[in-house]
Each structure stands twice: as structure tokens, then as C-alpha cells.
Amino acid sequence: MGKATGFMEYDRKTAQERKPDQRISDWDAFHPVLSEEEAKVQAARCMNCGIPFCHGGVNWKGVASGCPLGNLIPEWNDLVYRAQYEEAWKRLSRTSPFPEFTSRVCPALCEGACTTGLHNGAVTVKEIERFITDMAWEKSWIQPNPPKERNGKTAAVIGSGPAGLAAAWKLNRLGVTVTVFEKSELPGGLLTFGIPNMKLPKEVVARRVKFLEDEGITFVTNTDVGKDLKVEELKKFDTVVLCGGAGQPRDLTVEGRTLEGVRFAVPYLTEATKRVLSGDTESKPLQGKNVVIIGGGDTGNDCVATTIREGAASVKLLEIMAALPSERANDNPWPRWPFVLKTDYGHQEAIYLFGHDPRSYLTTTASFIGENGHVTAIETMEVEWVTENGRRIPKPKAETKKVYPADLVLIAMGFAGAETYLPEALGISFGKTHATDKPGVFAAGDMRTGQSLVVRAMRDGMDAALEAAKYLGLE
């Protein structure tokens, strides 16, 4: 367990992020990796408790607890404390296919279930994972390991987000010849285009894609199966795994919704990332513009940070829910995920730049106002959550109407599900397992479960691959 008294001697400490005044002028990563000495100290805090909830990956009363991948966290914490870094990497890589992604973008369900976190701050599991993984790449411990023999089976994976990459990785390791189809010009799905560069540098994604290619996986980009490629072409494969993302964003049905300048968030983030990838990191398309973002989740926060870097004169974020408490509520006990207020990197940058938190809680959109077909303002109302017919619903308070200037409105309210044209073209429907009602066709990630976390999509992709392998007679 590392140092037996470490959890009593050391406080939780994360790597020092670049200060907002330093980072808002560029698109570079804002969170560095722990130093070797810092990582050893933080790993020493792991209690190696009798029941390590951190890697349980269970669902308790509808709320996740612990790592969905089942990462052997106490084991590699102990190895890091003892400076056995290569062994720590071997232990981590047994359960996680792409820890360079989760160690940067995962909300760390493991830390929410950490026993040490009951009293003195959870072990910095995510930061230690990043330390191990960065060192593994630096020391070239991560080397392509293509199957020594192919079994003659073929698989098509549709979509190259976290679920698709994980499914392809697992099938390839089992000796299946895998082709991944991606509708965008680069693989990675939301890892490439939906998450800003400062949060997940695109060279990190490209490095992993290159690694998977070196292991024998083929990527076919600019190919939207069901549109650019007829579904009949999939018949040449022995199995198909559908891993398309949640492509149907939730929309608003209020007056003025069709005005120019009212947009969905993910296409906006995609365009911003494409500019960065093209080398254009200096342009300020939002210079002097007022921005309003609707939706307070991770995507909304990413939009705050991105619009700031594009020169926005003001940024306001509307959240229909009440602010979360600063500490766990009585009905949110450990080891369930702690629903507590978090001030994320984009919020921090807005506070620095504008002098106040950009978030307005218990607020909904009443209408959009425009001139000459373009949005110029947004009308909002406060809401009160009430129970009607056994359901909690937001009830607008008409007397609280306010109008704010808005040259750009970004809707970041989550997703209603995946696009339906591909399942419809295949004539399939989804069930409770990864298998669809068509033999040999499986589904994983957002297409199967609805929008979720990167780490859950990875787990789901690997599970779908195992079901496909069983269908092929490999398991």
C-alpha cells in the first residue's frame, strides 16, 4: 500500500495549472503532469483499503461509483510510490487501452469513490495515471504489438470516437482484421473535434491513432456509412460494430430559434479545433462579440474557454438547474459520485477576464431577439422547480424577464441520442445487450446508451468487441 501512514501525513495536491492570464492567449494544454517526487508523495496517500471502491465500477442506486474500466488503482499507486514505474505502466495497461485520454478528460469516478476522500481529499488517481502514461510514452514502453497471427475474420467499426477506438483495439488484439470508418477527415470523433486542444492536445490523439495503425488497424476517413458508403458494402465483413456518437443535440423551441447566430455547441467547437489544427491560432472571429451559452455541463464550460480565446467581449452561461452544493449533500453519500459545485477551467478564465462567474443558475431561455435575421439579444426568465403529477419540472417566473445582448448563442444542452439514418438503413433495432436484432451487428458507446463519458464509452466498446468475438467463435 505504499506508505502505511501516507494518507495521514500528506495532503492532496494536484499539478499546478497554468494561470488564466497566461493560458487564455493560446490553445496549449493548461494542466501539466506531476513531477516524479510529487507523484510518489500522492501515491503514498493510497490506503489500499480492504474494499477498493475506486476500481469497483459499480452502479449503486442509479449512480456510478468507481472506475468503469476496473483499473487496479491501489496496485499501481503502490508501484509508483516504490518508483517501479514500468511495472506500474504494465499494471495500468492491463485494464485501460487509452489512459492518455482518461487521465486528461475523465471526471475521475475513481476519486469520487476513494476512501481517503472521506476525510482528507481523494487520492489524485487521475494525476498519477497521467504521470505513469506520460512516462510510458517518453520511455518508449508503449510499442505496437500487432497479432502474431490473423484468424481470417474481418470487422467493420463505424465511428472512431472512444467507443470505436476501444472496440477496434480489442478486436485487433484478438486477431481480427479491423477497418474503422470515420465520417470526418481525421479519426478520433469527439476526442479530436469535440474537446478543445487545451484540454486534450490533438497530437495526443494522433499519436494513439498512429499506434493503432501500426498494430494493423485500417482507418477510412471522410466516409459516412449510410451516406457516402452504402450499407450493402458492410456485407463483406464478418461482423459490424456501430460506434457512432450522440449526434442529435437537444434543441430549444422558443421564438427566434431560427435566427442566424443561434448554433449548436459541438459544431462550433469542431470549427474552432479545425482552425487550430490548420495552424490558425491567432484569429479572433468573436472579437467584440457578446456570447451566451445555454447549458452548464462540460460542453458549456469548453465553449466558455473557446469563445474567450476567440476574442469574445462577454460570455454568459445559462444553467436551468440550481447550483450544486459546495459539499456532499446527505442524500449523496460516499462512495457515490459527489454532486458538488466545481469551478472548471473555462469558468476560472471567465472570472479572471470579466471579474465574475459566467454562470446564471435557475435560468431558462424565453426567446431570441434579432435584427435583419441575426440574433442580437436573448430574453431569459428565472425558474422554480416544482412537482406536478409526480414529476419535477421547471416553472418559469414571468416577472423575472431580462434581456442580454447576444451576437452568438451556443446551445450546449446535451444530446437526445445518436443519428438514426444508419440503423434505419441497416434495418436494425437495439436491445439490452450490445447485440442488435441483426446477427453479426453490434452497437456500443453513445449509439447504444445515449451520451455518456469517454471512460464509459471505452468500456462499452471493449464489451461490444467481446460479444462480436463470441459471435465469430473466438471467445
Q: For residue range 25-52, what is the model confidence (pLDDT) as tens digits?
A: 999 999 999 999 999 999 999 987 888 9
Q: How confident is the model at residue 1, as a pLDDT?
A: 64
**CATH number 3.40.50.720 is the correct assignment for the domain at 6-138:** no
Give this prediction's pTM: 0.95
Domain with CATH 1.10.1060.10 in the chain: 6-138
Instruction: Give 439: exposed, middle or buried? Use CB within 10 Å, 0-12, 13-18, 19+.
Output: exposed
3-state helix, strand, coil in the chain (%, to 5): 35, 20, 45
Strands 359-360 and 314-318 come out as: parallel
pLDDT of residue 283: 93
Backbone angles phi, psi at 318, to 5 degrees: -100, 130
* Signed CA dihedral, 167, 170, 171, 176: sign only: positive
Residues of the chain with CATH 3.50.50.60: 154-247+416-471, 251-413
DSSP letter string, 173-201: HTT-EEEEE-SSSSS-THHHHTS-TTTS-
- Give the residue among 248, 244, 250, 246 at the shortest CA–CA distance from 226: 244
Q: How many separate helices (H) and strands (E) can be counted in the chain?
A: 17, 17
Convert the pLDDT of each residue in 413-431 to its tens digit.
999 888 899 999 999 999 8
Q: What is the pLDDT of residue 58?
A: 81
The reported pLDDT for the residue numbered 448 is 93
Omega within 30 of 0 (cis) for the link into 439: no
Assigned C-alpha cell, 277: 489544427
CA dist 66 and 111 (Å) reads 7
Distances from the Cα of 217 to the Cαs of 160, 177, 222, 289, in angstroms?
Answer: 11, 7, 17, 44
Q: Cα 138 from chain centroid? A: 24
Q: Which CATH class is domain 251-413?
A: alpha beta
What is the DSSP secondary structure assignment for residue 17, as one 8-state letter? Answer: P
pLDDT at 208: 98
Q: Evaluate whether 299 touches 269 at the Cβ level (below 8 Å).
A: yes
Q: Are strands 58-60 and 63-65 parallel, antiparallel or unpaired?
A: antiparallel
Sign of the four-CA dihedral 312, 318, 322, 324: negative
Segments of the chain scoring below 70 in pLDDT:
1, 475
Question: What whole-number distance in Å separates Cα of residue 404 and Cα of residue 421?
Answer: 38
- pLDDT tens per residue across span 375-419: 999 999 999 999 999 999 999 999 999 999 999 999 999 998 888
pLDDT in tens, 58-80: 877 777 789 999 999 999 999 99
DSSP secondary structure letters along 207-270: HHHHHHHHTT-EEE-S--BTTTB-GGGGGGSSEEEE-----EE----SBTTTSBTEEEHHHHHH
| CA separation for the pair 446, 251 (Å, rounded) | 18
The DSSP bridge partners found for residue 415 are: 249
CATH 3.50.50.60 fits 154-247+416-471, yes or no: yes
